[in-house]
């Protein structure tokens, strides 16, 4: 980026440099602070912001190495000197500063898909962003265009001022950084600075992430179908919204009766369908239902919500054979939560770490998903019902591995593999919801098994043919 001028974002502001000290390595960033938007606009409207890297002091003291963190020497930063615009006395050869790379295992288990971070807002202008930042420590991550490139920005409210820090990327190892610590992903950068309350720039720390609005949907939730037309600003499509989760509208708590208001499903629960004696669930529908359940779980986990009670009784079907998960549990900021005391616990569906220590996580939901797979392929049987153990005895047996759930009926091999990987004792080794979805797509072509896809259309066709035969038995059907 040497000698490259980057145009400021839509609302220009003064660039603030990090204070120089002899005890630390000086870093540069494209951070801009909004002190007085009108004054800043007048001062910078006619000239672009020139990125200049401050020279490192000639005899700096060594920066103490953070424990358990690997130091990277002589790693180039993405910004460098522009000697043409430096004063005569500061024209020195290009110098290299030091970054400290933090290995992934030092950060911990982190969701590395930035789209799943609740405080990532995608493309967002500075004006809209600053309208959300109200309290000291509020922050969000957004995407913007700087010059001709797309960049990630950490926007934060700090001491009654709004600051916007561009996340930079090294050219060699493709590491993300803002001050002196470099990471393999932006998610790791955010998680490390937030967990350890280390300033990510200047003296600013990440305190309160501002979640997306309910109307800010993920692209994966929308399927585009027929194109209806186009205008000056884009195309218009007919599409489908598919989170596979029962929509929660709100609660009535002003007076008795206390009510929870949710979306209505015009079908039965999956448990009732599996136990029905009138008709048996087909193998295609079993795969379809488990795929929909995995999509619903993945959506919840992407919203940092742990369901805590995945079971056939909590899966509802509509008239189009679309399965949606209901009765979901608790929104969390961390990886796991402590179980509240009281209430009847579904021991037969719970993970061993939950039964042992009372902790729930996304991994414990996956363990329960394995119990759901068991229910589907045994036509509604309850897990562990044949072992003869109940309550605390069953709890101890599951923790001690003296009883293990197995599927002894005919089942596709890839479904058995999903079941076995979801029931692993070690939480770190269990399969993820995203991987389950990928396997269903790879092995069963789930784009064809959707209710509105190939099988659904074929089924609808034969249903119409059957109804026509019953209504007009004397009229031949042409094929």
State the catalytic residues.
Answer: 309
| Three-state secondary-structure class, residue 67 | coil
In DSSP notation, 72-136 reads E-SPPPS----GGGS-GGG--------EEE--HHHH-S----GGG-TTEEEE--HHHHHHH--ST
Q: Which 3-state string (H, E, C) describes 268-314?
A: CEHHHHHHCCCCCCCHHHHHHHHHHHHHHHHHHHHCCEECCCCCHHH
The DSSP H or E segment spanning 235 is: strand 234-241
Residue with tokens 């991550």: 141
In DSSP notation, 435-473 reads HHHHHHHHHH-HHHHSTTSHHHHHHHHHHHHHHHHHH-T
83 contacts 179 by C-beta, under 8 angstroms: no
161 contacts 34 by C-beta, under 8 angstroms: yes
94 contacts 80 by C-beta, under 8 angstroms: yes
Percent helix, strand and coil across the chain, each to the nearest 5: 30, 20, 50
- Round to whole Å and give the CA distance between 324 and 328: 11
Q: What angle do CA 255, 261, 262 make, to 5 degrees?
A: 170
- CA torsion sign for 289, 291, 294, 298 is negative
Distances (CA, A) of 114 to 59, 185, 214, 220, 299: 40, 9, 17, 14, 14
- Round to whole Å and give the CA distance between 470 and 371: 41
Beta 32-34 vs 161-166: how paired, if at all? antiparallel
């Amino acid at each position: 980026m040497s000698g490259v001028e980057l145009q400021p974002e839509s609302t220009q502001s003064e660039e603030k440099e990090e204070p120089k000290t002899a005890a630390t390595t000086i870093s540069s960033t494209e951070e801009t602070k909004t002190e007085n938007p009108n004054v800043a606009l007048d001062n910078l409207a006619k000239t672009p912001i020139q990125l200049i890297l401050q020279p490192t002091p000639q005899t700096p003291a060594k920066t103490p190495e953070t424990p358990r963190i690997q130091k990277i020497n002589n790693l180039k930063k993405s910004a460098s000197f522009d000697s043409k615009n430096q004063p005569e006395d500061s024209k020195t050869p290009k110098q290299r500063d030091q970054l400290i790379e933090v290995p992934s295992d030092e950060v911990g288990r982190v969701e590395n898909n930035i789209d799943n971070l609740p405080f990532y807002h995608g493309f967002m202008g500075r004006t809209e962003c600053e309208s959300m930042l109200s309290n000291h420590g509020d922050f969000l991550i957004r995407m913007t265009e700087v010059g001709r490139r797309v960049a990630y920005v950490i926007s934060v409210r700090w001491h009654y001022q709004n600051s916007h820090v561009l996340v930079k990327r090294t050219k060699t190892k493709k590491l993300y950084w803002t001050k002196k610590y470099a990471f393999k992903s932006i998610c790791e950068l955010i998680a490390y600075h937030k967990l350890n309350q280390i300033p990510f720039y200047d003296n600013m720390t990440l305190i309160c992430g501002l979640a997306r609005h309910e109307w800010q949907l993920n692209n994966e939730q929308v399927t585009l179908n027929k194109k209806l037309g186009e205008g000056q600003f884009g195309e218009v499509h007919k599409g489908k919204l598919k989170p596979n989760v029962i929509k929660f509208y709100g609660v009535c708590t002003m007076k008795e009766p206390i009510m929870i208001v949710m979306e209505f499903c015009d079908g039965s629960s999956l448990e009732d369908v599996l136990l029905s004696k009138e008709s048996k669930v087909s193998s295609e529908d079993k795969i379809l239902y488990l795929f929909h359940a995995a999509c619903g779980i993945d959506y919840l986990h992407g919203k940092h919500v742990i369901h805590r009670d995945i079971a056939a009784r909590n899966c509802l079907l509509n008239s189009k054979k679309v399965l949606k998960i209901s009765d979901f549990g608790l929104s969390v900021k961390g990886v796991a939560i402590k179980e509240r005391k009281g209430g009847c616990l579904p021991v037969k569906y719970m993970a061993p770490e939950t039964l042992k220590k009372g902790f729930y996580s996304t991994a414990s939901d996956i363990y329960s998903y394995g119990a759901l797979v068991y229910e589907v392929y045994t036509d509604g049987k309850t897990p562990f019902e044949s072992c003869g153990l109940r309550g605390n005895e069953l709890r101890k047996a599951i923790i001690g591995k003296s009883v293990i759930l197995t599927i002894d009926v005919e089942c596709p091999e890839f479904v058995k593999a999903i079941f076995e990987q979801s029931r692993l004792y070690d939480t770190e080794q269990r399969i993820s919801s995203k991987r389950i979805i990928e396997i269903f797509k790879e092995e069963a072509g789930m784009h064809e098994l959707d209710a509105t896809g190939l099988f659904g259309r074929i089924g609808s066709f034969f249903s119409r043919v059957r109804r026509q035969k019953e209504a007009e038995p004397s009229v031949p059907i042409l094929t």
